[in-house]
């Protein structure tokens, strides 16, 4: 299983690479993507939970990893995360289970960091 | 476009038909499905928004219709709904647009009913 | 809801239209598609159940309609169909429910025809 | 089957409705969506074929309808369209067949209009 | 490529972890999931083939691995497995090929174990 | 991240293994798959771009890797590839981003080989 650090570095390196390209459409999409989770009528915590459930039912491990980290940063509790993942499991079925395993695995790694007073970074 | 009444009657009739069958697995799944949206660590409003976003990115019109009606019953505002649909649009792409059209269409029908002091039922 | 006759006529008309085109790749795909369900190491009944479950988890109403009719022709019982649909429901989640409603609706129409000693055709 | 006129009017009415909302994210997404198909290193004809194949493998009838109309406007030939649909069929499998039927149905309606010297509009 | 042992240990460890949580919905889903494949009107062999085809068209490598192992335990023959995978390939298209490679790879590892009279475990 | 060599060897080994089986349906599908990208009314370059976009929106890393290599062999430019990937991003949403990272990563590896006058092989 990829470590969170490996994930973060690859993600960061490739995003920098993609945004250095000349394609204006892709750059603007990345900007819109960031803004969609900013505070508005809904708070960032709710929006990250929406992103997590969407990522889980669409079965994207990298996206699940990202949103679990963001949820931890937004102080979502374990019970709240499990209820959100339960909605994803019911909507998306057993095919989402490998991604729910991944979500819990990442969550455990984040909680471990918090216990050691290490930052949980994306 | 199906009217909300037609949708509700077909859904109700077929659910009754399915639950009258002898398959215990399907019945239990339906029960688990209902419980996933009940109040727990997360409130029903947040859970319905999770269900709406999951339904939109998985592109299921009947599910979108159901969760919009439930969101309206849970007093979600138009701004909150649009922000949730924007998350779905960013995550799921332009392929979700026909379902976002459907969501807004159903929302408008619900608001129309509310203006006339008619109940918004599922 | 489309009647089974309307479905069959549209499907037949468009298949004839597509196969009258000059694209050899599409024609060969249609031939391979038919052969995949013919008797081999697995019998047609099992293969139609595989096609039904695949169609349900991929959420294709036309494909669900087709395979329910074929299952009825292969003398699959109601209990067997419900167990296959339960596997699809568990694997694919609540998002498959509208297609399970459709499957049962088509099944009921087929059983109605059988009671009246009418042929169940595709 | 919805007529092309019905499709166009519903699409136009709902897009106007959605863009009249206050959600800036959704509006910007719609703008990015339009620009993605404009002439650049690739010509609009190739981009519409890309949009058509993406829509077919993701199995979105409204999107298939839209891109077939746009392909006809960009003077894509029947042979070119069939080869693009064949790629979609090979990549996406028999589950795309109902959408390939829809694509050919819309194509035939467009060619009929062209024979009568009527405009093919989106 | 993950070894089957690595897969089994990670799966087991994370399932234990998930089932130790306080979320009753997730626990009940896991129970329903197991029961869906138990003997009923259909035998476990047919149900595992249904699970395999569903997993292949939904393109979930962990699920494909699991159901291939279970099929081998249920004494499904190579010819039967290939015909089931052929149905998945036709329904789901070339996009399933990487998962069919995975399925055959796991199958070969299971047959190798059987030749050495080692148990094929999940 | 798998190296391109590892990918190529695994793909080649498993394809040989699959084609050595007795299943005629699978063999014919593989033949049809190859032919779909051969020169016809559309040139191989356009067809590979169609395959790339289909693979990206369906989120299959192995397929994205394959079609990027083929696009490089067909002399598609970086700007053309980015525009095709932008269409995939708009149609498929942020959920495709991990696969767009993969696509650019593979592209960079191919360009590196070309700079060293090494062959870009599949």
pLDDT attached to residue D18:
96
User: C5 or F1, which is more confident?
Assistant: C5
**What whole-number distance in Å separates Cα of residue C58 and Cα of residue F9?**
31
DSSP assignments along E13-74, one per residue: HHHHHHHTSS-HHHHHHHHHHHHTTSSSSS-HHHHHHHHHHHHHHTT-HHHHHHHHHHHHHT
C-alpha span between E74 and E69 (Å, rounded):
9
Judge whether residue C1 has pLDDT over 90.
no
> Strand, helix or coil at B41?
coil
State the greatest distance between any 2 C-alpha atoms of chain B, in Å, as a whole number: 44
Q: Please tell me if residue B41 touches chain E, with a CB cutoff of 8 Å.
A: no
- For residue E1, the model assigns a pLDDT of 44
What are A90-121's pLDDT values in tens digits? 999 999 999 999 999 999 999 999 999 999 99
The predicted structure's pLDDT at residue E27? 97
Q: How far is C99 from chain D (nearest CA, A)?
A: 14
Q: Tell me the pLDDT tens digit for each residue of C56-86.
A: 999 999 999 999 999 999 999 999 999 999 9
Kindly list the partner chains of chain C, i.e. chains with 3 or more CB atom pairs below 8 Å: A, B, D, E, F
Phi, psi of B13, deg, nearest 5: -60, -45
Q: pLDDT per residue over C50-64, tens digit each? A: 999 999 999 999 999
List subunits contacting chain A, requiring 3 or more Cβ pairs under 8 Å: B, C, D, E, F
The answer to whether the CB of F53 falls within 8 A of the CB of F82 is no
How much is the ipTM here? 0.96
Rounded mean pLDDT, A46-51: 98
E23 and A105 within 8 Å at the Cβ level: the answer is: no
Q: Do F57 and B93 make contact, defined as CB atoms within 8 angstroms?
A: yes
Render pLDDT for B109-122 as a digit per residue (tens, 0 to 9): 999 999 999 999 99
Banded pLDDT at D1 (limits 50, 70, 90): very low
- Quick check: A62 pLDDT over 60? yes
Ordered per-residue pLDDT tens for chain E, 122 residues: 458 999 999 999 999 999 999 899 999 999 999 999 999 999 999 999 999 999 999 999 999 999 999 999 999 999 999 999 999 999 999 999 999 999 999 999 999 999 999 999 99
Give the per-residue pLDDT at D92: 98
pLDDT over 70 (residue B52): yes
According to the model, what pLDDT value does residue C2 have? 53
pLDDT score of F1: 44
Give residue B2's pLDDT: 53
Shortest Cα distance from E120 to chain A (angstroms)? 21
Which residues in chain C have their CB less than 8 angstroms from residue F42's CB?
none
Chain A contacts of B41, Cβ < 8 Å?
Answer: 77, 79-80, 82-83
Which residues in A lie closer than 8 A to residue D28 (C-beta atoms)?
28, 32
> Per-residue pLDDT for F2 more than 60?
no
Q: Taking CB atoms and an 8 Å cutoff, what residues of chain F touch A17? A: 104, 108
Q: Is the pLDDT assigned to residue A3 strictly greater than 90?
A: no
Nearest CA in chain E to B41: E23
* Most B CBs within 10 Å, among C101, C106, C107, C108, to test the B interface: C101
Q: For residue E76, report the phi and psi dihedrals to the nearest 5 degrees.
A: -70, 140
Q: What six digits make up the tokens of C94?
A: 């609540």
The predicted pLDDT at position D22 comes to 87
Say what the pLDDT of residue C3 is. 85
Q: What is the pLDDT of residue A2?
A: 53
Q: Is A37 helix (H, G, I), strand (E, B) or coil?
A: coil
For the stretch F74-98, pLDDT in tens is 999 999 999 999 999 999 999 999 9
Instruction: Report residue D41 as tokens.
Output: 């290193």
Q: Where are the alpha helices (DSSP H) in B36-96?
A: 44-57, 61-73, 78-92
- Residue D50: its chain B contacts at CB < 8 A? none
pLDDT at D84: 98
Asked if D29 lies within 8 A of A32 by C-beta distance, the reply is: yes
| pLDDT score at D96 | 98
E28 close to B (CB below 8 A): yes
User: Which of B115, B11, B114 is CA-nearest to residue B64?
Assistant: B11
> Using one digit for the tens of pLDDT, what is the confidence trace for D45-74?
999 999 999 999 999 999 999 999 999 999
pLDDT the model gives residue D2:
53
Share of chain B above pLDDT 70, in %: 98
D75 and D17 in contact (C-beta within 8 Å)?
Answer: no
* Chain E residues touching F22 at Cβ < 8 A: 79, 82
Q: What's the mean per-residue pLDDT of chain B? A: 96
Over range A1-30, report the average pLDDT. Answer: 92
Global confidence as pTM? 0.97
| Residue in the block written with tokens 């059988």 | C114
In tens, the pLDDT along A68-94 reads 999 999 999 999 999 999 999 999 999
* Chain D residues close to F50, C-beta within 8 Å: 49-50, 53, 84, 87-88
Q: Provide the pLDDT confidence category of residue F3 given band limits of 50, 70 and 90.
A: confident
For the stretch B69-103, what's the b/e string if a residue is b when 16 or more beta carbons lie within 10 angstroms of its beta carbon? bbbbbbebebebbbbbbbbbbbbbbbbbbbbbbbb
Crossing angle (nearest 10°) for helices E24-35 and E4-19: 130
pLDDT band at F22 (very low <50, low <70, confident <90, very high): confident
| Residue-wise pLDDT tens digits, F23-65 | 999 999 999 999 999 999 999 999 999 999 999 999 999 999 9
Residues 59-118 of A with CB under 8 A from F: 60, 62-63
**Interface probe with A: pick from B50, B52, B92, most Cβ of A within 10 Å:** B50
Interface test with C, best of E36, E40, E45, E87 (most C CBs within 10 A): E87
What pLDDT score does B118 carry?
93
The pLDDT score that the predictor gives to residue B1 is: 44
């Amino acid at each position: 299983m990829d470590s969170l650090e490996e994930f973060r570095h690859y993600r960061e390196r490739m995003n920098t690479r993609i945004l250095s390209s000349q394609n204006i459409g892709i750059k603007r999409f990345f900007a819109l993507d960031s803004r969609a989770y900013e505070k508005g009528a809904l708070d960032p915590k709710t929006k990250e939970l929406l992103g997590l459930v969407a990522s889980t039912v669409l079965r994207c491990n990298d996206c699940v990893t990202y949103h679990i980290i963001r949820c931890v940063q937004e102080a979502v509790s374990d019970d709240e995360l499990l209820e959100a993942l339960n909605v994803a499991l019911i909507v998306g079925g057993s095919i989402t289970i490998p991604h729910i395993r991944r979500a819990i695995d990442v969550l455990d790694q984040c909680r471990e960091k918090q216990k050691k007073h290490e930052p949980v970074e994306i």
